[in-house]
């Protein structure tokens, strides 16, 4: 979280240029998958098509 705050980006949008390397890169990928799954579930329950 501090890395995302410092880069002023969401945790799932961090890149190596932002300092997300090594273990941080794995955490960023896991965070992206979690947020994507959550967004899909919300869209599904609202009856919306996924973009």
Q: Is the distance from CB of 12 to CB of 32 less than 8 angstroms?
A: yes
**Tens-place pLDDT, residues 4-40:** 888 898 888 888 888 888 888 888 889 899 999 999 9
Give the three-class secondary structure for 1: coil
State the pLDDT at residue 10.
86
Residue 42 included in any domain: yes
Residue 35 included in any domain: yes
**34: containing domain:** 2-46
State the pLDDT at residue 13.
86
State the pLDDT at residue 51.
63
The conformational region for residue 19 under phi > 0 = left, psi -120 to 50 = alpha, else beta, is: left
Q: What's the token pair of residue 2?
A: 């501090």
Residue 22 included in any domain: yes
- pTM, two decimals, is 0.70
* Distance separating alpha carbons of residues 45 and 32, to the nearest angstrom: 20
Residue 51 included in any domain: no
Q: What's the token pair of residue 49?
A: 């098509």
State the pLDDT at residue 1.
77
Give the three-class secondary structure for 39: helix
């Amino acid at each position: 979280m501090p890395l995302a705050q410092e880069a002023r980006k969401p945790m799932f949008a961090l890149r190596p240029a932002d300092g997300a390397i090594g273990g941080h890169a794995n955490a960023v990928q896991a965070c992206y998958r979690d947020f994507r799954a959550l967004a899909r579930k919300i869209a599904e329950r609202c009856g919306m098509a996924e973009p």
